[in-house]
Structure 1
Amino acid sequence: MQTQWQSATYDKGMDLAVGRHKVLRNTYMLLALSMVPTALGAWIGMSMQFMVRGWIGLLLFLGVSIGAFFAIERTKNSPVGVAILLAFTGFMGLWLSQFLQVALHFSNGGQMIAMAAGGTAAIFATLATVATVSKRDFSFLGNFLFVGLIVMLLAAVANIFLAIPALTMAISVVGTLIFSAYILYDVSQIVQGGQTNYITATLQLYLDIYNLFVSLLNLLMIFTGEKE
Protein backbone atom coordinates (compact mmCIF):
# COMPACT_ATOMS: atom_id res chain seq x y z
CA MET A 1 0.00 0.00 0.00
CA GLN A 2 2.79 2.41 0.92
CA THR A 3 4.59 1.67 -2.34
CA GLN A 4 1.41 2.33 -4.32
CA TRP A 5 0.85 5.61 -2.44
CA GLN A 6 4.44 6.71 -3.10
CA SER A 7 4.10 5.78 -6.77
CA ALA A 8 0.83 7.73 -7.09
CA THR A 9 2.38 10.74 -5.35
CA TYR A 10 5.40 10.59 -7.65
CA ASP A 11 3.19 10.34 -10.75
CA LYS A 12 1.10 13.28 -9.58
CA GLY A 13 4.22 15.36 -8.98
CA MET A 14 5.52 14.49 -12.43
CA ASP A 15 2.20 15.47 -14.02
CA LEU A 16 2.27 18.82 -12.24
CA ALA A 17 5.85 19.48 -13.36
CA VAL A 18 5.03 18.57 -16.96
CA GLY A 19 1.93 20.78 -16.86
CA ARG A 20 3.87 23.77 -15.56
CA HIS A 21 6.60 23.26 -18.16
CA LYS A 22 3.94 23.17 -20.88
CA VAL A 23 2.39 26.43 -19.67
CA LEU A 24 5.82 28.07 -19.55
CA ARG A 25 6.75 26.82 -23.03
CA ASN A 26 3.45 27.92 -24.57
CA THR A 27 3.72 31.28 -22.84
CA TYR A 28 7.17 31.94 -24.29
CA MET A 29 6.04 30.85 -27.77
CA LEU A 30 2.99 33.11 -27.71
CA LEU A 31 5.04 35.94 -26.21
CA ALA A 32 7.49 35.72 -29.12
CA LEU A 33 4.60 35.66 -31.60
CA SER A 34 3.04 38.74 -29.96
CA MET A 35 6.07 40.80 -30.96
CA VAL A 36 5.07 40.48 -34.64
CA PRO A 37 1.80 42.49 -34.43
CA THR A 38 3.54 44.85 -31.99
CA ALA A 39 6.25 45.63 -34.56
CA LEU A 40 3.64 45.91 -37.32
CA GLY A 41 1.49 48.25 -35.24
CA ALA A 42 4.52 50.41 -34.42
CA TRP A 43 5.47 50.59 -38.09
CA ILE A 44 1.94 51.60 -39.11
CA GLY A 45 1.78 54.21 -36.36
CA MET A 46 5.09 55.75 -37.36
CA SER A 47 4.12 55.73 -41.04
CA MET A 48 0.88 57.62 -40.34
CA GLN A 49 2.52 59.72 -37.58
CA PHE A 50 -0.05 58.51 -35.06
CA MET A 51 -0.16 60.82 -32.03
CA VAL A 52 -2.95 61.14 -29.43
CA ARG A 53 -2.41 63.08 -26.21
CA GLY A 54 -4.29 64.47 -23.20
CA TRP A 55 -7.68 63.24 -22.00
CA ILE A 56 -8.63 61.87 -25.41
CA GLY A 57 -5.52 59.71 -25.54
CA LEU A 58 -5.98 58.52 -21.97
CA LEU A 59 -9.64 57.58 -22.51
CA LEU A 60 -8.84 55.83 -25.80
CA PHE A 61 -6.04 53.82 -24.24
CA LEU A 62 -8.05 52.86 -21.15
CA GLY A 63 -11.12 51.97 -23.20
CA VAL A 64 -9.26 49.66 -25.58
CA SER A 65 -7.11 48.13 -22.83
CA ILE A 66 -9.96 47.41 -20.39
CA GLY A 67 -12.08 46.00 -23.20
CA ALA A 68 -9.22 43.78 -24.35
CA PHE A 69 -8.46 42.56 -20.81
CA PHE A 70 -12.11 41.62 -20.30
CA ALA A 71 -12.37 39.87 -23.68
CA ILE A 72 -9.11 37.95 -23.17
CA GLU A 73 -10.20 36.79 -19.72
CA ARG A 74 -13.53 35.55 -21.10
CA THR A 75 -11.89 33.64 -23.98
CA LYS A 76 -8.61 32.56 -22.39
CA ASN A 77 -9.43 28.87 -22.78
CA SER A 78 -10.03 29.04 -26.53
CA PRO A 79 -8.15 30.03 -29.72
CA VAL A 80 -10.27 33.19 -29.79
CA GLY A 81 -8.30 34.38 -26.76
CA VAL A 82 -5.06 34.10 -28.74
CA ALA A 83 -6.56 36.15 -31.60
CA ILE A 84 -7.77 38.88 -29.25
CA LEU A 85 -4.41 38.95 -27.48
CA LEU A 86 -2.54 39.37 -30.77
CA ALA A 87 -4.96 42.10 -31.86
CA PHE A 88 -4.35 43.89 -28.57
CA THR A 89 -0.57 43.68 -28.99
CA GLY A 90 -1.03 45.24 -32.43
CA PHE A 91 -2.84 48.15 -30.77
CA MET A 92 -0.05 48.41 -28.20
CA GLY A 93 2.46 48.60 -31.05
CA LEU A 94 0.44 51.44 -32.56
CA TRP A 95 0.50 53.18 -29.19
CA LEU A 96 4.23 52.53 -28.85
CA SER A 97 4.87 54.38 -32.11
CA GLN A 98 4.24 57.65 -30.26
CA PHE A 99 7.20 57.02 -27.94
CA LEU A 100 9.37 55.91 -30.84
CA GLN A 101 8.56 59.07 -32.80
CA VAL A 102 9.62 61.19 -29.83
CA ALA A 103 12.87 59.21 -29.52
CA LEU A 104 13.64 59.59 -33.23
CA HIS A 105 13.54 63.38 -32.89
CA PHE A 106 16.93 62.97 -31.20
CA SER A 107 19.98 62.54 -33.41
CA ASN A 108 20.81 59.29 -31.57
CA GLY A 109 17.19 58.12 -31.43
CA GLY A 110 17.80 54.86 -33.28
CA GLN A 111 20.66 53.99 -30.97
CA MET A 112 18.56 54.70 -27.86
CA ILE A 113 15.73 52.51 -29.13
CA ALA A 114 18.19 49.69 -29.78
CA MET A 115 19.73 50.11 -26.33
CA ALA A 116 16.31 50.08 -24.65
CA ALA A 117 15.35 46.94 -26.57
CA GLY A 118 18.64 45.24 -25.70
CA GLY A 119 18.37 46.23 -22.06
CA THR A 120 14.80 44.95 -21.87
CA ALA A 121 15.80 41.62 -23.44
CA ALA A 122 18.76 41.24 -21.08
CA ILE A 123 16.68 42.01 -17.97
CA PHE A 124 13.91 39.65 -19.06
CA ALA A 125 16.32 36.80 -19.84
CA THR A 126 18.16 37.23 -16.53
CA LEU A 127 15.11 37.46 -14.27
CA ALA A 128 13.16 34.75 -16.10
CA THR A 129 16.15 32.44 -15.70
CA VAL A 130 16.43 33.27 -11.99
CA ALA A 131 12.74 32.51 -11.45
CA THR A 132 12.92 29.28 -13.44
CA VAL A 133 16.21 27.85 -12.23
CA SER A 134 15.99 28.84 -8.57
CA LYS A 135 12.33 27.68 -8.36
CA ARG A 136 11.97 30.10 -5.46
CA ASP A 137 8.46 31.35 -4.72
CA PHE A 138 8.36 35.12 -5.31
CA SER A 139 4.63 35.46 -4.63
CA PHE A 140 5.44 37.58 -1.57
CA LEU A 141 6.22 40.42 -3.98
CA GLY A 142 2.66 40.57 -5.25
CA ASN A 143 1.10 43.00 -2.76
CA PHE A 144 4.10 45.36 -2.73
CA LEU A 145 4.22 45.48 -6.53
CA PHE A 146 0.49 46.10 -6.83
CA VAL A 147 0.58 49.05 -4.44
CA GLY A 148 3.66 50.47 -6.18
CA LEU A 149 1.98 50.06 -9.57
CA ILE A 150 -1.15 51.92 -8.48
CA VAL A 151 0.89 54.82 -7.08
CA MET A 152 3.01 54.97 -10.22
CA LEU A 153 -0.06 54.95 -12.49
CA LEU A 154 -1.69 57.77 -10.54
CA ALA A 155 1.51 59.80 -10.81
CA ALA A 156 1.75 59.06 -14.54
CA VAL A 157 -1.83 60.19 -15.17
CA ALA A 158 -1.22 63.40 -13.22
CA ASN A 159 1.99 64.04 -15.13
CA ILE A 160 0.16 63.87 -18.47
CA PHE A 161 -1.16 67.31 -17.59
CA LEU A 162 1.55 68.58 -15.21
CA ALA A 163 4.46 67.61 -17.48
CA ILE A 164 7.07 67.92 -14.69
CA PRO A 165 10.48 66.65 -15.94
CA ALA A 166 11.61 65.46 -12.50
CA LEU A 167 8.38 63.50 -12.03
CA THR A 168 8.79 61.96 -15.49
CA MET A 169 12.25 60.76 -14.52
CA ALA A 170 11.04 59.41 -11.16
CA ILE A 171 8.17 57.53 -12.82
CA SER A 172 10.58 55.97 -15.34
CA VAL A 173 12.99 54.86 -12.60
CA VAL A 174 10.20 53.38 -10.50
CA GLY A 175 8.67 51.79 -13.61
CA THR A 176 11.94 50.10 -14.48
CA LEU A 177 12.17 48.61 -10.99
CA ILE A 178 8.51 47.60 -10.72
CA PHE A 179 8.22 45.93 -14.13
CA SER A 180 11.54 44.17 -13.71
CA ALA A 181 10.26 42.75 -10.42
CA TYR A 182 6.97 41.85 -12.10
CA ILE A 183 8.86 39.70 -14.61
CA LEU A 184 10.37 37.79 -11.70
CA TYR A 185 6.98 37.51 -10.03
CA ASP A 186 4.99 36.46 -13.12
CA VAL A 187 7.47 33.81 -14.28
CA SER A 188 7.62 32.50 -10.71
CA GLN A 189 3.83 32.20 -10.70
CA ILE A 190 4.01 29.90 -13.72
CA VAL A 191 6.87 27.83 -12.30
CA GLN A 192 5.13 27.48 -8.92
CA GLY A 193 1.81 26.56 -10.51
CA GLY A 194 0.00 29.74 -9.48
CA GLN A 195 -0.71 30.61 -13.11
CA THR A 196 -1.99 27.76 -15.26
CA ASN A 197 -3.33 29.58 -18.33
CA TYR A 198 -0.70 30.45 -20.93
CA ILE A 199 -2.80 33.18 -22.60
CA THR A 200 -3.21 35.09 -19.33
CA ALA A 201 0.46 34.48 -18.51
CA THR A 202 1.49 35.84 -21.90
CA LEU A 203 -0.58 38.99 -21.42
CA GLN A 204 1.02 39.61 -18.02
CA LEU A 205 4.58 39.13 -19.27
CA TYR A 206 3.90 41.14 -22.41
CA LEU A 207 2.78 44.13 -20.33
CA ASP A 208 5.84 43.73 -18.09
CA ILE A 209 8.18 43.79 -21.10
CA TYR A 210 6.32 46.59 -22.87
CA ASN A 211 6.34 48.92 -19.88
CA LEU A 212 9.93 48.05 -19.00
CA PHE A 213 10.99 49.00 -22.54
CA VAL A 214 9.10 52.32 -22.38
CA SER A 215 10.61 53.13 -18.97
CA LEU A 216 14.15 52.39 -20.16
CA LEU A 217 13.62 54.40 -23.34
CA ASN A 218 12.38 57.39 -21.32
CA LEU A 219 15.45 57.23 -19.09
CA LEU A 220 17.77 57.03 -22.09
CA MET A 221 16.09 60.06 -23.67
CA ILE A 222 16.45 62.00 -20.44
CA PHE A 223 20.11 61.17 -19.82
CA THR A 224 21.62 60.47 -23.23
CA GLY A 225 19.31 62.12 -25.76
CA GLU A 226 21.16 64.36 -28.22
CA LYS A 227 19.16 67.14 -29.85
CA GLU A 228 19.62 67.52 -33.60
Structure 2
Amino acid sequence: MDLQQSWQGASEGTRSRIDFVRNVYLWLMGGFAVAALGALSAPFVAMALVPVAGSFLGWVLFGIQFGTLMFASSVSRRKPLNKVAYGLFTFVSGVIAGIVALVIAQGAGFMPVFMAFGLTGVVFMTLTVTAFVSKKDFSFLRNFVIVGITVMFFGSLAAAIFHLETFRLIISGVAVIACSAKLLWDTSAMLRTNDFGDPAGFALALFVSLYNIFISLMNLLGGRRR
Protein backbone atom coordinates (compact mmCIF):
# COMPACT_ATOMS: atom_id res chain seq x y z
CA MET A 1 0.00 0.00 0.00
CA ASP A 2 2.80 2.38 0.91
CA LEU A 3 4.60 1.49 -2.32
CA GLN A 4 1.46 2.13 -4.36
CA GLN A 5 0.88 5.49 -2.66
CA SER A 6 4.50 6.47 -3.27
CA TRP A 7 4.20 5.56 -6.95
CA GLN A 8 0.97 7.51 -7.28
CA GLY A 9 2.54 10.51 -5.57
CA ALA A 10 5.57 10.37 -7.85
CA SER A 11 3.31 10.04 -10.90
CA GLU A 12 1.24 13.05 -9.87
CA GLY A 13 4.41 15.03 -9.19
CA THR A 14 5.72 14.19 -12.65
CA ARG A 15 2.46 15.26 -14.28
CA SER A 16 2.50 18.50 -12.31
CA ARG A 17 6.07 19.23 -13.45
CA ILE A 18 5.23 18.47 -17.07
CA ASP A 19 2.21 20.77 -16.90
CA PHE A 20 4.35 23.48 -15.31
CA VAL A 21 7.08 23.27 -17.96
CA ARG A 22 4.43 23.30 -20.70
CA ASN A 23 2.87 26.41 -19.17
CA VAL A 24 6.25 28.15 -19.03
CA TYR A 25 6.82 27.57 -22.74
CA LEU A 26 3.26 28.58 -23.60
CA TRP A 27 3.89 31.87 -21.81
CA LEU A 28 7.19 32.21 -23.66
CA MET A 29 5.61 31.54 -27.06
CA GLY A 30 2.90 34.07 -26.24
CA GLY A 31 5.59 36.61 -25.40
CA PHE A 32 7.25 35.99 -28.76
CA ALA A 33 3.93 36.53 -30.53
CA VAL A 34 3.30 39.83 -28.75
CA ALA A 35 6.91 40.91 -29.38
CA ALA A 36 6.43 40.19 -33.09
CA LEU A 37 3.42 42.53 -33.09
CA GLY A 38 5.56 45.14 -31.37
CA ALA A 39 8.30 44.75 -33.98
CA LEU A 40 5.81 45.16 -36.82
CA SER A 41 4.43 48.33 -35.24
CA ALA A 42 7.90 49.74 -34.50
CA PRO A 43 7.95 52.27 -37.38
CA PHE A 44 4.58 53.70 -36.37
CA VAL A 45 5.51 53.86 -32.67
CA ALA A 46 8.78 55.58 -33.54
CA MET A 47 7.04 58.15 -35.74
CA ALA A 48 4.57 58.86 -32.95
CA LEU A 49 7.24 59.28 -30.27
CA VAL A 50 9.95 61.14 -32.18
CA PRO A 51 8.11 64.50 -32.13
CA VAL A 52 7.80 64.16 -28.35
CA ALA A 53 11.05 62.48 -27.36
CA GLY A 54 13.32 63.75 -30.14
CA SER A 55 16.91 62.57 -29.79
CA PHE A 56 16.03 61.00 -26.43
CA LEU A 57 13.79 58.38 -28.04
CA GLY A 58 16.17 55.55 -27.18
CA TRP A 59 16.35 56.57 -23.52
CA VAL A 60 12.58 56.97 -23.32
CA LEU A 61 12.02 53.49 -24.72
CA PHE A 62 14.67 52.05 -22.40
CA GLY A 63 12.96 53.68 -19.42
CA ILE A 64 9.58 52.29 -20.47
CA GLN A 65 11.04 48.85 -21.03
CA PHE A 66 12.80 48.79 -17.67
CA GLY A 67 9.65 49.97 -15.91
CA THR A 68 7.45 47.33 -17.55
CA LEU A 69 10.07 44.67 -16.71
CA MET A 70 9.99 45.61 -13.03
CA PHE A 71 6.20 45.65 -13.14
CA ALA A 72 6.01 42.22 -14.81
CA SER A 73 8.48 40.76 -12.31
CA SER A 74 6.57 42.07 -9.31
CA VAL A 75 3.15 40.75 -10.41
CA SER A 76 4.18 37.47 -12.07
CA ARG A 77 2.04 35.47 -9.62
CA ARG A 78 -0.98 37.78 -9.64
CA LYS A 79 -3.66 36.75 -12.14
CA PRO A 80 -4.77 38.29 -14.47
CA LEU A 81 -2.46 41.27 -13.88
CA ASN A 82 0.57 39.15 -14.76
CA LYS A 83 -0.77 38.69 -18.30
CA VAL A 84 -1.19 42.44 -18.77
CA ALA A 85 2.26 43.23 -17.38
CA TYR A 86 3.96 40.47 -19.38
CA GLY A 87 2.21 41.60 -22.55
CA LEU A 88 3.27 45.21 -22.02
CA PHE A 89 6.90 44.26 -21.49
CA THR A 90 7.11 41.91 -24.46
CA PHE A 91 5.34 44.43 -26.72
CA VAL A 92 7.76 47.24 -25.76
CA SER A 93 10.70 44.88 -26.20
CA GLY A 94 9.41 43.98 -29.66
CA VAL A 95 9.14 47.66 -30.58
CA ILE A 96 12.76 48.26 -29.50
CA ALA A 97 13.98 45.16 -31.35
CA GLY A 98 12.12 46.33 -34.46
CA ILE A 99 13.70 49.79 -34.30
CA VAL A 100 17.18 48.31 -33.80
CA ALA A 101 16.59 45.97 -36.75
CA LEU A 102 15.53 48.87 -38.98
CA VAL A 103 18.56 50.94 -37.99
CA ILE A 104 20.91 48.05 -38.72
CA ALA A 105 19.13 47.26 -42.00
CA GLN A 106 19.66 50.83 -43.21
CA GLY A 107 23.43 50.35 -43.09
CA ALA A 108 23.92 46.64 -43.56
CA GLY A 109 20.70 45.27 -45.01
CA PHE A 110 18.43 42.74 -43.35
CA MET A 111 20.87 39.81 -43.56
CA PRO A 112 22.44 40.52 -40.12
CA VAL A 113 18.93 40.67 -38.65
CA PHE A 114 17.94 37.30 -40.15
CA MET A 115 21.25 35.76 -39.10
CA ALA A 116 20.87 37.06 -35.55
CA PHE A 117 17.34 35.66 -35.40
CA GLY A 118 18.51 32.27 -36.63
CA LEU A 119 21.50 32.15 -34.31
CA THR A 120 19.29 33.08 -31.35
CA GLY A 121 17.06 30.13 -32.20
CA VAL A 122 20.10 27.84 -32.41
CA VAL A 123 21.36 29.04 -29.02
CA PHE A 124 17.91 28.56 -27.48
CA MET A 125 17.49 25.03 -28.84
CA THR A 126 21.05 23.96 -27.99
CA LEU A 127 20.98 25.18 -24.39
CA THR A 128 17.44 23.93 -23.79
CA VAL A 129 18.33 20.45 -25.03
CA THR A 130 21.51 20.53 -22.93
CA ALA A 131 19.54 21.33 -19.79
CA PHE A 132 16.84 18.72 -20.51
CA VAL A 133 19.22 15.91 -21.48
CA SER A 134 21.97 16.47 -18.90
CA LYS A 135 19.53 17.16 -16.02
CA LYS A 136 22.38 18.96 -14.27
CA ASP A 137 22.06 21.74 -11.74
CA PHE A 138 23.61 24.78 -13.43
CA SER A 139 23.25 27.04 -10.40
CA PHE A 140 27.06 27.12 -10.21
CA LEU A 141 26.82 29.68 -13.04
CA ARG A 142 25.18 32.16 -10.66
CA ASN A 143 28.25 34.28 -9.90
CA PHE A 144 29.38 34.30 -13.53
CA VAL A 145 25.91 35.41 -14.65
CA ILE A 146 25.68 38.15 -12.04
CA VAL A 147 29.08 39.57 -12.98
CA GLY A 148 28.40 39.26 -16.71
CA ILE A 149 25.00 40.96 -16.56
CA THR A 150 26.38 43.73 -14.35
CA VAL A 151 29.15 44.39 -16.87
CA MET A 152 26.60 44.22 -19.69
CA PHE A 153 24.22 46.69 -18.06
CA PHE A 154 26.68 49.36 -17.01
CA GLY A 155 28.89 48.83 -20.06
CA SER A 156 25.93 49.36 -22.36
CA LEU A 157 25.02 52.57 -20.55
CA ALA A 158 28.61 53.84 -20.81
CA ALA A 159 28.82 52.95 -24.51
CA ALA A 160 25.54 54.74 -25.21
CA ILE A 161 26.41 57.85 -23.20
CA PHE A 162 29.94 58.29 -24.56
CA HIS A 163 29.27 56.87 -28.06
CA LEU A 164 31.95 54.18 -27.78
CA GLU A 165 31.28 52.02 -30.84
CA THR A 166 34.06 49.45 -30.39
CA PHE A 167 33.33 49.14 -26.68
CA ARG A 168 29.64 48.64 -27.50
CA LEU A 169 30.52 45.66 -29.69
CA ILE A 170 32.66 44.18 -26.91
CA ILE A 171 29.78 44.56 -24.47
CA SER A 172 27.48 42.88 -26.99
CA GLY A 173 29.83 39.88 -26.96
CA VAL A 174 29.76 39.83 -23.16
CA ALA A 175 25.96 39.99 -23.27
CA VAL A 176 25.70 36.96 -25.58
CA ILE A 177 27.87 34.88 -23.26
CA ALA A 178 26.29 36.07 -20.00
CA CYS A 179 22.70 35.73 -21.22
CA SER A 180 23.42 32.30 -22.71
CA ALA A 181 24.69 31.19 -19.30
CA LYS A 182 21.59 32.68 -17.65
CA LEU A 183 19.34 30.90 -20.13
CA LEU A 184 20.98 27.60 -19.21
CA TRP A 185 20.75 28.40 -15.49
CA ASP A 186 17.07 29.42 -15.68
CA THR A 187 16.11 26.36 -17.73
CA SER A 188 17.85 24.11 -15.21
CA ALA A 189 16.08 25.90 -12.36
CA MET A 190 12.74 25.45 -14.12
CA LEU A 191 13.30 21.71 -14.40
CA ARG A 192 14.37 21.35 -10.75
CA THR A 193 12.02 23.68 -8.91
CA ASN A 194 9.25 22.38 -6.65
CA ASP A 195 7.35 25.67 -6.85
CA PHE A 196 4.95 25.35 -9.77
CA GLY A 197 3.08 28.58 -9.07
CA ASP A 198 5.09 31.03 -11.16
CA PRO A 199 5.29 29.97 -14.82
CA ALA A 200 5.06 33.62 -15.87
CA GLY A 201 8.17 34.47 -13.86
CA PHE A 202 10.23 31.72 -15.49
CA ALA A 203 8.94 32.66 -18.95
CA LEU A 204 9.86 36.28 -18.29
CA ALA A 205 13.42 35.29 -17.33
CA LEU A 206 13.83 33.17 -20.46
CA PHE A 207 12.37 35.90 -22.67
CA VAL A 208 14.75 38.56 -21.28
CA SER A 209 17.78 36.36 -21.94
CA LEU A 210 16.70 35.55 -25.50
CA TYR A 211 15.86 39.20 -26.19
CA ASN A 212 19.33 40.33 -25.06
CA ILE A 213 21.02 37.61 -27.09
CA PHE A 214 19.09 38.64 -30.22
CA ILE A 215 19.81 42.36 -29.80
CA SER A 216 23.49 41.70 -29.07
CA LEU A 217 23.90 39.41 -32.07
CA MET A 218 22.32 42.04 -34.32
CA ASN A 219 24.82 44.59 -33.00
CA LEU A 220 27.74 42.23 -33.53
CA LEU A 221 26.72 41.16 -37.04
CA GLY A 222 25.62 44.54 -38.34
CA GLY A 223 27.14 47.11 -36.04
CA ARG A 224 30.39 47.70 -37.86
CA ARG A 225 28.56 48.37 -41.13
CA ARG A 226 25.91 50.66 -39.66
TM-score with structure 2 setting the length: 0.86
State the match for 1:39 in structure 2. 36
Percent of pairs with identical residues: 28
Contact residue 21 and residue 191 of structure 1 kept, 8 A: no
Shift in CA distance, 87/32, structure 1 to aligned 2, threshold 3 Å: same
State the match for 1:136 in structure 2. 136
| Residue pairs, 1:45-194, within 5 angstroms | 45-50=42-47, 57-58=58-59, 60-106=61-107, 108-193=108-193
SS at match of 2:193: coil
Count, aligned residues: 221
Shift of 1:60: 4.8
Structure 2, gaps ≥5 residues long: none
State the match for 1:13 in structure 2. 10
Measure, in 2, the Cα distance between the counterparts of 1:53 and 1:137: 47
Shift of 1:20: 2.1
Contact residue 148 and residue 175 of structure 2 kept, 8 A: no
State the Cα deviation string for residues 176-211 of structure 1 (Å, max 9, x = none). 111111111111111011663110011101101100
Q: Which moved more, 1:84-93 or 1:14-23?
A: 14-23
Q: Which moved more, 1:16-25 or 1:159-168?
A: 16-25
Measure, in 2, the Cα distance between the counterparts of 1:203 and 1:97: 19
Give the aligned residue type for 2:215. Answer: V
Give the aligned residue type for 2:181. Answer: A
Structure 1, gaps ≥5 residues long: none
Shift of 1:65: 2.4
Measure, in 2, the Cα distance between the counterparts of 1:88 and 1:60: 11
CA RMSD of aligned residues (A): 2.4
Shift of 1:97: 2.3
Shift in CA distance, 81/42, structure 1 to aligned 2, threshold 3 Å: same
